[in-house]
Amino acid sequence: MLRLRAVALYEIRGLAKRFGDNVVLQSIDLEVFEGERITLIGKSGSGKSVLLKLMIGLLRPDAGTIVFEGEDVTRAPEREWIEVRKRIGMLFQWDALFDSLDVADNVAYGLREQRVLDEAAIAARVSECLAQVSLPGIEAMWPASLSGGMRKRVGLARAIASRPDVVLYDEPTEGLDPINVTRVDRLLDSLRFGSGVTTVVATQNMQSAFNASDRLALVHGGMIAKAGTPDELREWGDPRIEPFVRSSELRAKTRPSVPS
Ligand SMILES: Nc1ncnc2c1ncn2[C@@H]1O[C@H](COP(=O)(O)OP(=O)(O)OP(=O)(O)O)[C@@H](O)[C@H]1O
Ligand SMILES: [Mg+2]
């Protein structure tokens, strides 16, 4: 019998991370499958951002393994991580645009570091990415003159600039009004389906977590307490997930309709 098997882009086993006495992650087991949109949920301080930083090699784990695209990168030296990072995009929680650089230079930042494209190709790629996030032609603007929603989208353009296989989005909708939340959610999907990018999101926004994900993973007590489809998590009935489910239902009732 022909059986389709999901390909794991990330296979994470027993991942642990502490800062001094603060044990943040005890033993994280998580698989991320090619093409899916998986969302990490969990209360503030549960370690979602730390997990994403481990997944892109900006922090190093104390124990456990990270296999990315079949390659064990857990103890890879920085020069190998630089290569691996070319296949991973990241939107940081605090949008991390450089206020001293214009939009074009912000979007081009990672591309220049990678030293693969020449300046003409970088300019073309920057324009293409800005168009993909519905901000064509704003190359010469400065971050300080952009709205919060625009800054997020410039951050998205930078995250996808190197055509990564996977993008890690840390709180992509934080601080946005409900209309922009829905807009950014749609944008993540258009980037995903348009370019086949696997999408990992960390968010406190239960509206987008439950409505826009293929799977959710609850980070609790330094572990993945549960991973599954939104329906599976709703039906789980565990007190640890109840507040998240309730909040998603409350928000769903007041979901705005968005002109596209
Ligand atoms: N570089 C660091 N040095 C020391 N402690 C850190 C560092 N980064 C994170 N922590 C600690 O790790 C814990 C988890 O933080 P993290 O930012 O991952 O939480 P989070 O789940 O992303 O929260 P939020 O939903 O508020 O974004 C916190 O206790 C935080 O203080
Ligand atoms: Mg965080």
The pair of structure tokens assigned to 243 is 């507040």
What integer pLDDT is reported at residue 18 of this predicted model? 98
Which of 19, 206, 208, 224 for a ligand 1 pocket mutation test, highest count of atoms within 8 Å of Cβ? 19
Report the distance separating Cα 199 and Cα 258, nearest Å.
Answer: 23
Residue ranges around ligand 1 (CB below 6 Å): 19, 22, 24, 42, 44-50, 93, 204
Contact in structure between 155 and 120 (CB atoms under 8 Å) = no
Ligand 1 midpoint to CA 98 (Å): 22
pTM (2 d.p.): 0.90
Atom of ligand 1 nearest to the CA of 17: 12
Give the per-residue pLDDT at 191.
87
Q: Which residue has the tokens 């994470």?
A: 12
Which of 48, 169, 200, 223 has the most ligand 1 atoms within 8 A of CB, as the residue to mutate?
A: 48
For residue 246, the model assigns a pLDDT of 72
Give the distance (Å) from ligand 1 centre to CA of residue 54: 12
pLDDT digits (tens, 9 = 90+) for 28-67: 999 999 999 999 999 999 999 999 999 999 999 999 999 9
CA of 93, closest atom in ligand 1: 27
3-class SS of residue 202: strand
Ligand nearest the Cα of residue 25 is 1
Return the pLDDT at 260.
45
Beta carbons within 8 Å of 95's beta carbon, 6+ residues apart: 151, 152, 154, 155
Give the ligand at the shortest distance from the Cα of 17.
Answer: 1
The CATH 3.40.50.300 domain(s) of the chain lie at 8-87+167-253
Q: How far is the CA of 52 from the centre of ligand 2 (A)?
A: 9
Residue nearest to atom 8 of ligand 1 (CA): 50
| Ligand in nearest proximity to the CA of 44 | 1
Q: Which CATH superfamily is domain 8-87+167-253 in?
A: P-loop containing nucleotide triphosphate hydrolases (3.40.50.300)
SS3 125: helix
243, exposed or middle or buried, with CB in 10 Å at 0-12, 13-18, 19+?
exposed
- Asked if residues 226 and 217 have their Cβ atoms less than 8 Å apart, the reply is yes
User: Angle at which helices 119-132 and 148-160 pack, to 10 degrees?
Assistant: 130
Q: Which residues have their alpha-adjacent CB atom under 5 A from ion ligand 2?
A: 48-49, 93
- Tell me which residues of the chain have a pLDDT lower than 70: 1-5, 95, 248-260
Alpha-carbon distances, residue 156 vs 29, 133, 239 (angstroms): 27, 7, 34
Take atom 7 of ligand 1 and give the residue whose Cα is closest. 19
Residue 45 Cα: closest atom of ligand 1: 19
CA distances from 74 to 83, 209, 215, 237 (A): 14, 28, 24, 35
